[in-house]
Amino acid sequence: MSKILAITNQKGGVGKTTSTANIGAGLARTGKRVILVDLDPQTNLTKGLGIVAAEKNVYGALLGEYELEVYPLQKNLALVAGSPALSGFDKAKGDEVDREFLLKELLEPLRKQSDYILLDCPPGLGLVTLNAYACAQVLYIPLEAQMYGVDGLEKVLNLVKRMQRRLNPELTIGGLFFTRYNKHKILHRETTETLRGQYPDLVLEGVIRESVALGEAPHFGKDIFTYASHSAGATDYAALVTELLTR
């Protein structure tokens, strides 16, 4: 039975999609069977991994219009495509009984086919995010090492506490990690040190450095390992995956 990981932050632009793609690809490179699920209406995960016109996506499957489709990407790595229509999920399913568990029920058959399912969560708190938290075992939170980059952290931590009490007692936070990190910037170093002091058990050792290749890879429909295997981004995500596997 696979483990479901949610990559999440209530703030946008902190590297959730980049991290979902590259943690997933990194896990696949270790021999783990991985399925990525694009839950962000921007569908950047889907487009960034080369799926341009998916006939079936997670939104249609959640609405029961068709069976869930999994698109193979490479050895051990596959994707459930996203849809811009996910922005209307609250309106479509907001009045339904057990609406927070629709994603959990949908993904249940995939758990026997994979070792890990990674959820790329949208920013903000809506029904899609609640569904992700209701079915995940572990959350990982990417952060930028600056004041505005950590604004969403407390919201996530408070939401996890409520979810543990009400919907998913198995939910835990696997860790926080820094993206777009530059050790030469004083603000980045100070923010990192401060959060390590505040959350010593949550802040992971691995950081993702600023890397041109990480920004370029999605434009070619590739993960960082396929696009630039010797880049700083590939090195950092490989180290992060190793750390995740040992926690």
Q: Among the listed ranges 43-47, 52-56, 152-156, which one has the minimum average pLDDT value?
A: 152-156
Helical H segments across 40-152, by residue range: 44-48, 58-62, 89-93, 102-107, 127-135
Cβ atoms of 165 and 186 within 8 Å: the answer is no
Q: What is the mean pLDDT of residues 128-138?
A: 96
Q: How confident is the model at residue 119 (pLDDT cuts 50, 70, 90)?
A: very high
pLDDT per residue as tens digits for the range 180-229: 999 889 888 988 888 899 889 999 999 999 999 999 999 999 999 999 99
Q: Name the DSSP letter for residue 121.
A: P
Tokens 């180290």 sit on residue: 239
Structural domains of the chain in order of their starting residue, each with its CATH number: 3-246 (3.40.50.300)
| Rounded Cα distance, 172 and 138, in Å | 5
pLDDT at 152 over 80: no
Greater pLDDT, 111 or 124: 111
Residue 186 burial (C-beta neighbours within 10 Å; 0-12, 13-18, 19+): exposed
In the prediction, which pLDDT does 94 show? 85
Q: Give yes or no for residue 146 having a pLDDT over 80.
A: no
The band of 11, judged by pLDDT with boundaries at 50, 70 and 90, is confident
pLDDT in tens, 77-86: 999 999 999 9
Q: What is the pTM (predicted TM-score) of this model? A: 0.95
Question: d(Cα 153, Cα 8) in Å, to the nearest integer?
Answer: 10
Q: How far is CA 234 from CA 8, 36, 81, 214, in A?
A: 21, 18, 24, 8
**Cross-strand pairs, 99:** none
Nearest Cα residue to 177 out of 246, 226, 241, 223: 241
Q: Is the pLDDT of residue 87 over 80?
A: yes
- Residue 60 CB partners (closer than 8 Å, separation 6+): 66, 83, 85
Q: List alpha helices for the chain, DSSP H.
A: 16-29, 44-48, 58-62, 89-93, 102-107, 127-135, 153-166, 186-198, 212-216, 224-227, 232-246
The two three-digit tokens of residue 160, written as one number: 């996890």
